[in-house]
């Protein structure tokens, strides 16, 4: 059996995910595994068509594909995302169609499910025979029970390949055939001294007209007082290297080498309102956007956008992508920011409605920024917070020293055992319920 492993870590041999693959390889010496470095080699793959074609040839000849990658900000690394785009752009999907596939990730299991959902969607779009996903904690390999569990998964996958098992489809193909065209003159919204930054990857290329029109309209609503920044105009030398240089003191390996860090500190962190504008590309935004989010990781697990108003301007079928909507919501909530709203061009069938929604987005963002309104987090923000809190306190305090310092100083270590009044109340109540009088009356 020939398995192609598509490696999604930007790291080389030290990749945690690849230790899991190496373990599987050791247990299945009779199986041929070919590991193809995607995330680390993306520039080479993109520039040299022969290299890309060779990968596609190997996929075609393989019996199955194993997508093996680390979680990167709710999804895959930006470079891995770029590979998925290249397969689409270069019409190489037929090499994947009908091929059995499985997903293996390592992470701290913070929104691992959104990355799994994303890749499952891609496999469905490409008509692959998806077996299952396996989300390993990055320390699982040290535990015997977890190693056995991983091997059970691999056994099942290999059996599915050998027996040509049928695979269920989870997602419908996406469709989007409306375009926004403004109807009304922009209704002006004063920014009242609030700093508004609109960040976009919009380009003049085909398929971006709708996004560009929404962008132009919103900018006009803000009466020219919003700063529009094009991600493509910034010098961003490359994707996150995963080197964790930032862990100690939030300095990035790219410091001084490109525009990103200064731009983040001077333009984004000083804004009151951030609007992220992009078009859906496969089942996420573009890989340019993904690289942006990956590179923000130099802030590690510190909510560097806390207190800001965040809105999204999206062109594409967001209604068909609840996974992506969840990513936007969760991202905003864990940042302790406020999700003002998401406006998409899906409403364009109703003339004038997008215009009104854009005006409302602008108006609310200024109103909330003025009153410092942050809505309470849902499970997404709260659950995410607890995972980070526990991990920084425990497993990943090293190398994330800066996070530990920040969490300690900002009261983020809000473990329930520190709440002495609740502990006292619980103690009293547990004594009380044991008294016959109270127990009889269900007190």
The window from 48-56, 110-118, 162-170, 422-430 that contacts ligand FMN (CB under 6 A) reads: 110-118
Is 70 a binder of ligand FMN (CB under 6 A)? yes
Is 9 a binder of ligand FMN (CB under 6 A)? yes
CA distance 90 to 82: 12
Tokens describing residue 101: 């596939």
Q: How far is the CB of 430 from ligand FMN (least distance, A)?
A: 36
Report the alpha-carbon angle 335-313-361, nearest 5.
Answer: 80
Is 74 a binder of ligand FMN (CB under 6 A)? yes
Find the binder of ligand FMN among 22, 23, 88, 109 (CB under 6 A).
109
The window from 101-109, 199-207, 425-433, 434-442 that contacts ligand FMN (CB under 6 A) reads: 101-109
Query: What residues between 362 and 421 interact with ligand FMN by CB under 6 A?
Result: none
Contacts with ligand FMN by CB under 6 A: the residue count is 22
Q: How far is the CB of 245 from ligand FMN (least distance, A)?
A: 10
The window from 7-15, 94-102, 259-267, 423-431 that contacts ligand FMN (CB under 6 A) reads: 7-15
Is 16 a binder of ligand FMN (CB under 6 A)? yes
Is 274 a binder of ligand FMN (CB under 6 A)? no
Give the residue with the Cβ less far from ligand FMN, 129 or 404.
404
Alpha carbon 2 to its chain centroid, in Å, reads 31
Is 11 a binder of ligand FMN (CB under 6 A)? yes
Contact of 316 with 285, CB cutoff 8 Å: no
Give the residue with the Cβ less far from ligand FMN, 15 or 250.
15
Give the residue with the Cβ less far from ligand FMN, 137 or 367.
137
Q: How far is the CB of 295 from ligand FMN (least distance, A)?
A: 8
Alpha helices, DSSP H, located in 268-378: 287-295, 322-334, 353-371
CA distance 198 to 209: 17
Contact of 34 with 2, CB cutoff 8 Å: yes
Is 67 a binder of ligand FMN (CB under 6 A)? no
DSSP state of 107: E
The window from 65-73, 189-197, 220-228, 324-332 that contacts ligand FMN (CB under 6 A) reads: 65-73
Q: Which residues on adjacent β-strands are paired with residue 275?
A: 198, 311
Q: How far is the CB of 404 from ligand FMN (least distance, A)?
A: 16
3-state secondary structure of 102: strand
Is 242 a binder of ligand FMN (CB under 6 A)? yes
The window from 12-20, 160-168, 306-314, 364-372 that contacts ligand FMN (CB under 6 A) reads: 12-20
CA distance 101 to 125: 13
> Other C-beta atoms within 10 Å of 436: how many?
7
Find the binder of ligand FMN among 17, 117, 212, 335 (CB under 6 A).
17
Dihedral pair phi/psi, residue 102, rounded to 5°: -145, 160
C-alpha dist (Å) from residue 12 to 4, 36, 141, 369: 17, 11, 18, 44
CA distance 137 to 157: 19
Is 138 a binder of ligand FMN (CB under 6 A)? yes
Q: How far is the CB of 261 from ligand FMN (least distance, A)?
A: 14
Contact of 340 with 311, CB cutoff 8 Å: yes
Query: What residues between 283 and 342 interact with ligand FMN by CB under 6 A?
Result: 294, 297
3-state secondary structure of 230: strand
The window from 70-78, 177-185, 186-194, 411-419 that contacts ligand FMN (CB under 6 A) reads: 70-78
DSSP 25-88: HHH-TTSEEEEEE-STTHHHHHH-HHHHHHHHHHHHHSSEEEEEEE-BTTBS-HHHHHHHHHHH
Is 240 a binder of ligand FMN (CB under 6 A)? yes
Give the interface with ligand FMN as residue ranges (CB under 6 A): 9, 11, 15-17, 70-74, 106-112, 138, 240, 242, 294, 297
């Amino acid at each position: 059996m020939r398995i192609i492993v598509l490696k999604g870590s930007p790291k080389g041999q030290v990749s945690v995910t690849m230790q899991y693959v190496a373990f599987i390889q050791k247990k299945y010496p009779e199986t041929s595994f070919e590991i193809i470095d995607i995330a680390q080699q993306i520039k080479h793959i993109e520039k040299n068509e022969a290299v890309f074609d060779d990968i596609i040839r190997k996929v075609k000849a393989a019996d199955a594909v194993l997508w093996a990658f680390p979680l990167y900000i709710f999804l895959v690394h930006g470079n891995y995302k770029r590979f998925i785009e290249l397969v689409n752009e270069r019409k190489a999907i037929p090499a994947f169609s009908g091929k059995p596939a499985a997903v293996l990730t390592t992470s701290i299991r913070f929104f691992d499910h959104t990355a799994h959902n994303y890749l499952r969607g891609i496999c469905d779009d490409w008509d692959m025979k998806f077996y299952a996903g396996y989300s390993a904690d990055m320390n699982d390999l040290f535990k015997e029970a977890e190693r056995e569990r991983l091997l059970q998964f691999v056994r099942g996958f290999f059996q599915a390949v050998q027996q040509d098992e049928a695979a269920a489809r989870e997602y419908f193909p996406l469709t989007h055939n409306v375009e926004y065209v403004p109807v009304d003159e922009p209704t002006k919204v004063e920014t009242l001294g609030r700093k508004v930054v609109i960040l976009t990857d919009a380009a003049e290329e085909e398929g971006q007209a709708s996004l560009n029109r929404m962008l132009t309209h919103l900018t006009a609503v803000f009466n020219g007082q919003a700063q529009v920044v094009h991600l493509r105009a910034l010098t961003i030398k490359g994707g996150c290297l995963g080197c964790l240089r930032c862990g100690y003191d939030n300095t990035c390996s790219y410091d001084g080498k490109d525009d990103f860090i200064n731009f983040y500190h001077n333009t984004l962190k000083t804004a009151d309102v951030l609007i992220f504008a992009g078009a859906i590309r496969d089942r996420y935004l573009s890989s340019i956007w993904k690289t942006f989010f990956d590179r923000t990781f130099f802030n590690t697990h510190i909510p560097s956008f806390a207190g800001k108003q965040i809105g999204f301007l999206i062109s594409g079928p967001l209604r068909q992508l609840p996974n992506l909507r969840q990513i936007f919501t969760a991202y905003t909530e864990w940042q302790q920011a406020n999700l003002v709203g998401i406006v998409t061009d899906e409403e364009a069938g109703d003339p004038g409605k997008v215009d009104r929604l854009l005006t409302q987005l602008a108006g609310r963002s200024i109103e909330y920024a003025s009153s410092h309104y942050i809505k309470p987090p849902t499970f997404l923000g709260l659950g995410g917070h607890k995972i980070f809190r526990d991990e920084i306190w425990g497993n990943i305090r090293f190398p994330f020293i800066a996070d530990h310092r920040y969490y300690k100083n900002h009261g983020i270590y809000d473990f329930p055992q520190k709440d002495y009044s609740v502990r006292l109340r619980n103690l009293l109540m547990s004594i009380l319920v044991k008294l016959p009088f109270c127990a009889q009356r269900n007190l």
